[in-house]
Chain A
Amino acid sequence: MTGGSPFVPHTEADRQAMLDAVGVSDVEELFDVPASVRFDGDLDVPARSEAAVRSEVATTLDRNASLTEFLGRGHYDHYVPSVVDRISARSEFLTSYTQYQPEVAQGFLQALFEYQSMLVELTGLPIANASMYDAATALGEAALLASRVRDADGSTVLVPEYVRDERVSVLENYGAGAGISVRRVPGTARTLSPDPLADAIDQEVAAVYAETPTARGRIEESLGGVGDLAHQHDALFVVGSDPIAMALLEAPGYQGADVVIGDASVLGLPTSYGMGLGIFATKEDYLRQVPGRLVGASTDDAGRRAYTLTLQTREQHIRRERATSNICTNQAWVALRTAMHVAHLGPDGLIEKARRMVRLASDLADRLDGIAGIEAPASDGHYFREFVAETDRDAQALAADLRDRGFAIHAIDDHEVQVAVTETTADATDDLVAAIREVTA
Chain B
Amino acid sequence: MRRYDQARWSDEGGDAYEPLLVEKSERTAAVEDTPLPDDLTRESLTLPDLSEPALSRHYVRLSQENYGVESGPYPLGSCTMKYNPPFTEDVAADENAFVHPDRDEADVQGTLEIVHALQEQLATIGGMDAVTLQPPAGAAGEFTGIRIAAAYHAANEDHDRTEVVVPDTAHGTNPASAAMAGYDVVEIPSDDGRVDLEALEAAVGETTAAFMLTNPNTLGLFERDIEDIAAVVHEAGALLYYDGANLNALLGRARPGDMGFDIMHYNVHKTFATPHGGGGPGAGPVGVVQELADFLPDPHVRATDEGFERYTPANSIGKVHGFYGNWLVLLKAYAYISRLGEEGLLDTSATAVLNANYLAERIDFEVPYEPFHHEFVASAGDVDAADLAKRMLDFGVHPPTTKWPDIVEEALMTEPTESESKRSLDTLAAAFEAAASADDETLADAPNRTTARRIDQTQAARNPRLSWQALRDD
Contact = CB atoms under 8 A, between A and B. Distances in A.
A416 interface: no
Nearest to A14: B422
Given A100-B76, A270-B98, A7 B451 contact: no
Contacts of B74: 97
Given A61-B97, A306-B17, A38 B357 contact: no
Interface bracket on A:
35 or more
B102 A221 contact: no
A304 B342 CA distance: 50
B244 interface: no
A64 B371 contact: no
A146 B420 CA distance: 46
Interface stretch (B23-31, B200-208, B377-385, B431-439): B23-31
Given A18-B422, A97-B79, A333-B279, A38 B48 contact: no
A346 B48 contact: yes
A170 B322 contact: yes
Interface stretch (A128-136, A198-206, A368-376): A128-136
B279 A98 contact: yes
B15 A304 contact: yes
B56 interface: yes
A99 B96 CA distance: 33
Interface string B60-73: 11111111111100
A273 B466 contact: no
Contact of A63 (B31, B85, B113): B113
Contacts of B335: 53-54, 57
Nearest to B230: A37
A308 to B, nearest CB: 5
Given A100-B401, A250-B41, A299 B456 contact: yes
A310 B103 contact: no
Given A56-B338, A104-B450, A133-B136, A296 B466 contact: yes
A297 B318 contact: no
Contacts of B58: 343
B323 A5 contact: no
Max chain A Cβ within 10 angstroms of own Cβ: one of B17, B34, B102, B334: B102
B296 interface: no
A323 interface: yes
A32 interface: yes
A121 B469 contact: yes
B114 interface: yes
B460 A310 contact: yes
Contacts of B125: 43, 45
B340 interface: yes
Contacts of B137: 133, 327-330
Given A106-B451, A178-B182, A346-B47, A57 B91 contact: yes
A228 to B, nearest CB: 15
A87 B56 contact: yes
24 contacts: A3-B343, A8-B348, A14-B422, A22-B354, A43-B124, A64-B96, A65-B103, A71-B103, A90-B60, A95-B275, A101-B399, A103-B447, A103-B452, A121-B46, A121-B469, A128-B466, A134-B322, A137-B136, A169-B318, A299-B455, A326-B142, A326-B177, A329-B139, A330-B137
User: Which 7 residue pairs across A and B have the least CB separation, nearest first?
Assistant: A274-B323, A47-B341, A333-B277, A332-B279, A177-B182, A136-B322, A107-B66
